[in-house]
Amino acid sequence: MPVTEGTKGRNAQSDIRASEIMAAAGARELHDGEVVVVGLGLPEVASVLAKRTHAPRLATLLEVGVMNPRPKDTPVGLPDSRSFYRATCWSGFLDVMGMNLHRGVVDVGFLGALEVDQYGNINTTLVKDESGKIRYVNGSAGGNDVASLAKRVIVIMRHEKRKLPLAVAHLTSPGFVGGRSRQELNLRGGGPSRVITDMAVLGFDANTHVMSVLSLHPGVRVEELVENTGFPLLIPNDIPTTPLPSTEELRLLREEIDPKGAHLK
């Protein structure tokens, strides 16, 4: 990685970690009263943070059939009892992914990804090394369903050139495939709206559907961002700086939401 420790790990100007900026940026994308299907890890951390601050009426759904959990003790996965502690509903795929997501009432799908390309297409199925050798990983699970059907999709991931290629090695979950509109693609959901990385908050151009820069995290230079991205980003002349998490957001993240630092490394 060509990026200095200062910007990638801990923020140069303070003691705030990039992962904490990501979690707070993710939380700010979630609005009070919305319905969100969340994956484990940073999406879950960000949704809990939103709920504990500006969005107390956010409905958080897990694909296994869980609503509004208060996760504790760092779950290892969605079916870990720790992830569905004190939920308001336990049901199943058919309820969460069928009668909510497929029904069209889920505002936000909040996902992690192995690779995301310039049109927001997501790969979670396989990686190809330089010789073309394929290694399989986890596959879709609910990822394709969420990306197809949620009104908008937020992806949160580490910013590395190989994770942000021009085209994904396997198109597991569609964004704006080939730059086409979601209607043309026969998809009901609105598609990707944000990609939040440890360097920037990215969005998508309304006409070309190509990924664009919305804000850079404090201390990150635009040259670094370009160097670490595998396709040409749309870069505005004036790029705002991503706001740092507030003192209260940091306290919640560090003391209550992820005290062991399992996700906020």
Partner 1 sequence: MVDKVKSVSEVVRTIPSGSHIALGGFAIARNLIAVVHELIRQQKRDLTVSQGVVGLETDLLVGAGLVGRLIMGGGSLDRFGPAHCVNRARETKSLQCEDYTSLSVCFRYLAGALGLSFIPIKSLFASEILERLEAGPGASDVKRSRCPFTGEEYVLLRALTPDVSFVHVQIADRDGNCQINGPRWGNEEQAKAGRRLVVVAEEIVPTEFIQRSPERTIIPGHRVEAVIHQPFGALPTTVFGCYDYDADHLRLYVKHAEEPERFKEYLNAFVFGCRDHWEYLEKLGGLRRLEKLRAEPISGY
Do strands 108-111 and 35-38 pair parallel, antiparallel, or not at all (unpaired)? Answer: parallel
Q: Is 230 helix (H, G, I), strand (E, B) or coil?
A: strand
Residue at token pair 């069928």: 98
259 binds partner 1 per the rule CB under 8 A: no
Identify which of residues 186 and 237 has a Cβ nearer to partner 1 in the complex. 186
Interface of this chain with partner 1, residues 89 to 108, rule: CB under 8 A: 90-94, 97-98, 101-102
CB of 144 to partner 1, least distance (A): 4
- End-to-end CA, the chain: 17
140 binds partner 1 per the rule CB under 8 A: yes
59 binds partner 1 per the rule CB under 8 A: no
CB of 26 to partner 1, least distance (A): 20
Cα 101–121–200 angle (5° rounding)?
100
Interface of this chain with partner 1, residues 148 to 167, rule: CB under 8 A: 148-149
CB of 157 to partner 1, least distance (A): 17
Distance between CA atoms of residues 99 and 242, nearest Å:
36
Single-letter residue type at 187: L
Spot the catalytic one: 29, 63, 115, 249: 63
Distance between CA atoms of residues 118 and 122, nearest Å:
10
User: Is 63 marked active-site?
Assistant: yes
Identify which of residues 174 and 245 has a Cβ nearer to partner 1 in the complex. 174
33 binds partner 1 per the rule CB under 8 A: no
Interface of this chain with partner 1, residues 178 to 237, rule: CB under 8 A: 185-188
Dihedral over Cα of 160, 165, 170, 175: its sign: positive
Nearest Cα neighbor of 174 from 104, 216, 121, 100 is 121
CB of 34 to partner 1, least distance (A): 20
Q: Provide the β-strand partners of residue 123.
A: 115
Q: Is-contact 211 233, C-beta < 8 A?
A: yes
Name the site residues for partner 1 (rule: CB under 8 A). Answer: 40, 62-66, 72-73, 76-82, 84-85, 90-94, 97-98, 101-102, 124-125, 134-145, 148-149, 170-174, 177, 185-188
Which residues are tagged catalytic?
63
